Amino acid sequence: MTELDLSDFKKRLLKHQRELLDVEASGEQASKIVELDQTTVGRLSRMDAMQAQAMSLEIDQRRKQELQRINNALKRLEKGNYGYCQHCGEIINPLRLKFSLTATLCITCANELT
């Protein structure tokens, strides 16, 4: 990959990381513990709140996993092995990387390993 390509991928990774961190900072309220006092909230409202809390926690977990993948991709960029398949060592198609910035496998290896 050329230096220009890597620079573009790094910018996109950092932008995506920043967006996820912004969402994380604004979404902390949704994952707080649901009040179980029946005198303040009806049963169905509590169930809705608990479901929303569970969804928020799952979204938070997925966001953290994506942030970890971004951090790993940035480390690979620093080491000079970003864009290379971690299974076969071949270059990952840049179109695949544009679709999935954190891809670690070429399409062939990804298909073989699934």
Residue % of the chain over a pLDDT of 70: 82
Q: The dihedral of CA 81, 85, 86, 88: what is its sign?
A: negative
> Residue 74 in contact with residue 6, Cβ under 8 Å?
no
The widest CA-to-CA distance across the chain, in whole angstroms, is 64
* Domain ranges, residue 104: 83-114
Q: Are residues 15 and 63 in the same domain?
A: yes
Q: pLDDT category, 20, cuts 50, 70, 90?
A: very high
- DSSP character string of 85-96: -TTT-PBPPHHH
DSSP structural state of residue 38: T
Task: Name residue, tokens 């929303």.
Answer: 52
pTM of the model: 0.77
Q: Are residues 77 and 89 in the same domain?
A: no
Q: Are residues 49 and 87 in the same domain?
A: no
Q: Are residues 68 and 17 in the same domain?
A: yes
Q: Are residues 78 and 95 in the same domain?
A: no
